[in-house]
């Protein structure tokens, strides 16, 4: 017998809407496919299927479709996870001072008591505005945000029926120009917080080749790029098909974890089969390139097509070869080369390593997210808790072009 997804009706500014909740991507109707095609790759079924088949630990999923007069006019991807600060922190310092050790000890003690199950509007694995998609012909954004809020509470109740009780909302990410609007529309109780900027590389129309890109740089940065390539000249690059990813799956995950655990703050660790499932579900829309030294996999980088843009997804590398061969820099330049050759509009480098990405030509765009805890007392200090656990990162923006 075919299951029927739970629904609820609501009124927004005198207009009737219907909200349907789906617990699995396999249950999503055809209306999702059309609406999702207007959003990023990360709200489309191939990616969502891969993520659902190989999810991070403690992550569950939900999906909302919004209807007006029987027509689907919006969608939202949801995740649940348990934010465990103890598992998310890394002091990142090999030789901390006495005061740093004391600070880390206090932070580690505090992190042990911070465990919050949250409902995520969006996707914590990627950077960008992936929380929702809506039809501008059928509803204004302000009305849709009001509808979205209704849907989030409805989804929270539905997930609770399935044994997934969440205590807060985590809505991500929004570019700086939209933040005042989101803050006003979401209303009281939601804390606006900032994360590291989204690093975006804009591909110039006049660049036909990678050499054109190098020619547009000042001599200092052009020399740096050529020096990195020279040090990495013996690295062998292999485009990884499904079979090759499967063969090197364990090593790929090992290299990913080296990078992930060296980050100061992590909300998740990827499933062992995440990269393999991406290839299985997304095919040519997903690319992994492996970097080999003497037939040993020492690094990898990934790209995902999303309309006119390329998203630089996760990377992994051996620190020894990174020092020796400038491996990470080679990866950045290789991705820029791919973006130029494919006539992409933008290469989305996402967060982390802002200064080195800036030196390659990426620009930083501030983004914010919104947090709200259902307990009023805890919610009052939510912003302070987050800022304590992940203080702002200082970095210097570079300008490599003439």
- Residue 356 predicted with pLDDT over 50: yes
Tokens 């980050």 -> residue:
263
**How high is the pLDDT of residue 125?**
95
Instruction: Evaluate if residue 104 carries a pLDDT over 80.
Output: no
| Phi and psi angles of residue 397, each rounded to the nearest 5 degrees, phi first | -75, 135
Distance of alpha carbon 248 from the chain centroid: 24
Average pLDDT of the segment spanning 65-69? 97
Q: Dump pLDDT digits (tens) for 31-42.
A: 999 999 999 999
Three-state DSSP class for 11? strand
Please, are residues 83 and 115 in contact by the beta-carbon 8 Å criterion? yes
pLDDT at 317 over 70: yes
Give the chain's mean pLDDT.
90
Three-state SS sequence of 282-349? HHHHEEEEEEEECCEEEEEEEEEEECCEEEEEEEEECHHHHHHHCHHHHHHHHHHHHHHHCCCCEEEE
68's tokens? 């007006």
Residue 138 pLDDT > 50, yes or no? yes
Q: Per the structure block, which two tokens stand in for 16?
A: 């009737």
Predicted pLDDT of residue 99: 47
Tokens representing 313?
């997804």
> Residues of the chain with pLDDT > 90: what percent?
78
d(CA 6, CA 21): 6
Per-residue pLDDT, 265: 61
pLDDT of 319 strictly over 70: yes
pLDDT value of residue 383: 77
Q: What token pair was written down for 177? A: 């120009």
* DSSP code of residue 265: B
pLDDT at 89: 46
Residue of 324 and 51 predicted with greater confidence: 51
Helices (H) then strands (E): counts for the chain:
16, 16
Between residues 311 and 92, the one the model is more confident about: 311
Q: What is the pLDDT of residues 153-196, one digit of tens each?
A: 999 999 999 999 999 999 999 999 999 999 999 988 999 998 88
Query: What's the 3-state SS for 364-392?
Result: EECEEEEEEECCHHHHHCHHHHHHHHCCC
Q: Do residues 373 and 168 lie in contact, with contact meaning Cβ atoms separated by under 8 Å?
A: yes
**pLDDT, tens digit, 9 for 90 and up, residues 232-289:** 999 999 999 999 999 999 999 999 999 998 865 677 899 999 999 999 999 999 999 9
pLDDT on residue 97: 53
**In the beta sheet, which residues pair with residue 194?**
368
What DSSP assignment string belongs to 184-202? Answer: HHH-TTPEEEE-SPEEEEE
Instruction: Enter the pTM of the model.
Output: 0.91
Top-confidence residue, 394 or 170: 170
Instruction: Please say if the pLDDT value at position 1 is more than 90.
Output: no
Paired sense of beta strands 168-175 and 198-202, if any: unpaired
Nearest to 190 by CA among 160, 143, 149: 149
**pLDDT value at residue 391:** 67
Q: Identify the structural domains of the chain with CATH numbers, from first to last.
A: 7-195+366-389 (3.40.630.30), 198-365 (3.40.630.30)
> What band does 332 get if pLDDT is binned at 50, 70 and 90?
very high
Provide the pLDDT for residue 113.
45
| Distance, CA of 46 to CA of 278 (rounded, Å) | 8
User: What is the per-residue pLDDT for 254?
Assistant: 97
């Amino acid at each position: 017998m075919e299951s029927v997804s739970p629904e609820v009706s609501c009124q927004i500014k005198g207009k009737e809407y219907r909200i349907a909740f789906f617990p699995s991507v396999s249950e999503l109707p055809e209306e999702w496919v059309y609406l999702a095609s207007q959003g990023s790759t990360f709200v489309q079924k191939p990616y969502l299927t891969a993520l659902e088949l190989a999810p991070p630990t403690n992550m569950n999923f939900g999906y909302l479709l919004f209807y007006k007069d029987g027509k689907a006019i919006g969608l939202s991807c949801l995740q649940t996870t348990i934010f465990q600060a103890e598992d998310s922190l890394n002091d990142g310092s090999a030789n901390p001072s006495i005061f740093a050790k004391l600070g880390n000890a206090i932070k580690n003690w505090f992190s042990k008591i911070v465990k919050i199950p949250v409902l995520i509007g969006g996707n914590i694995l990627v950077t960008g505005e992936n929380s929702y998609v809506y039809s501008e012909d059928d509803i204004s954004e302000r009305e849709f945000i009001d509808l979205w809020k209704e849907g989030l509470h409805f989804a929270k109740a539905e997930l609770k029926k399935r044994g997934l009780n969440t205590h807060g909302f985590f809505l991500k990410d929004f570019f700086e120009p939209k933040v005042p609007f989101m803050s006003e529309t979401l209303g009281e109780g939601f804390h606006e917080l900032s994360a590291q900027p989204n690093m975006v590389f804009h591909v110039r129309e006049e660049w036909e080749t990678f050499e054109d890109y190098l020619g547009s740089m000042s001599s200092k940065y052009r020399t740096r790029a050529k020096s990195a390539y020279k040090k990495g000249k013996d690295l062998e690059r292999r485009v990884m098909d499904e079979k090759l990813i499967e063969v090197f799956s364990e090593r790929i995950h090992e290299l990913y974890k080296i990078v992930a655990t060296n980050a100061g703050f992590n909300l998740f660790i990827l499933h062992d089969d995440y990269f393999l499932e991406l290839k299985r579900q997304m095919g040519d829309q997903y690319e992994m390139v492996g970097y080999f030294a003497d037939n040993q996999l020492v690094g990898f980088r990934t790209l995902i097509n999303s309309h006119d843009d390329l998203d630089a997804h996760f990377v992994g590398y051996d620190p020894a070869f990174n020092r020796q061969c400038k491996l990470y820099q080679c990866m950045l330049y290789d991705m820029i080369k791919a973006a130029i050759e494919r006539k992409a509009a933008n290469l989305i480098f996402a967060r982390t390593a802002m200064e080195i990405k800036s030196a390659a030509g990426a620009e930083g765009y501030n983004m914010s997210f919104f947090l709200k805890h259902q307990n009023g007392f805890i919610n009052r200090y939510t912003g302070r808790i987050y800022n304590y656990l992940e203080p702002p990162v200082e970095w210097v923006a570079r300008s490599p072009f003439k």
